[in-house]
Amino acid sequence: MCGKDFVLIYSKSAQLVRDPGLRNKLEAAMKATHDFQTPRNIFEKLIRDYEHLDRLVSGDAMFNFVSTAYHFQEWIKNSPLKTSEPVKRLLRKTASHKYIKLCKDIVTAKKNYQVIIDDPSLPEGHEIDFTKFPSTFDKFSYEKGDKNFVFKVGDEEIDPFQFKEEILQLYSTYFQVK
């Protein structure tokens, strides 16, 4: 934005637009909205978090998945969907599900967690750069047996791929169909 009367449009050649109507159209055309208003939007985020864990298993990626999985219930409870019988059953099922309970314990800081990565190809003392994706998806390396991953919550050791799969399947039954 360049003041109230002008907007700077970045294209091959930057230009000043004085016409407010044209300026509004151009501003609207340049915007992208990532919308979070419904449980469907949160379900889609859960899928993105799930897929991110296929690429890179890290504490950050796991926390994003855990947080979305837990808070998804709140979005459902505060939506018009909450009155339907299938959704009521889903909410009862998620409230008692062992992995959703773990998600709650992590998000509410009742339990700590670790993501343990066993990668024999790493030199002794090497630190992984979690800001970059590995050259091969972590899930593929896991399936081939090149790497092993453990999601440790308290004293419980969980396979992170099984964990995310079970949670996604729990919600998918109700939200998969568009």
Tell me: the pLDDT tens digits for 9-57? 444 333 455 666 766 666 666 667 777 888 889 999 999 999 999 999 9
For residues 32-71, one letter each, b for 16 or more C-beta atoms within 10 angstroms of the residue's C-beta and e for the rest, the string is: eeeeeeebeebbebbbebbebbeebbbeebbbbbbbbbbb
pLDDT tens digits along 66-117: 999 999 999 999 988 788 898 899 999 999 999 999 999 999 999 999 999 8
Structure tokens belonging to residue 32? 């992208």
pTM: 0.77
Burial class (CB in 10 A: 0-12, 13-18, 19+), 146: middle
Predicted confidence at residue 3, as pLDDT, reads 43
For residue 48, give the 3-state DSSP assignment: helix
**Cα 56 to chain center, whole Å?**
12
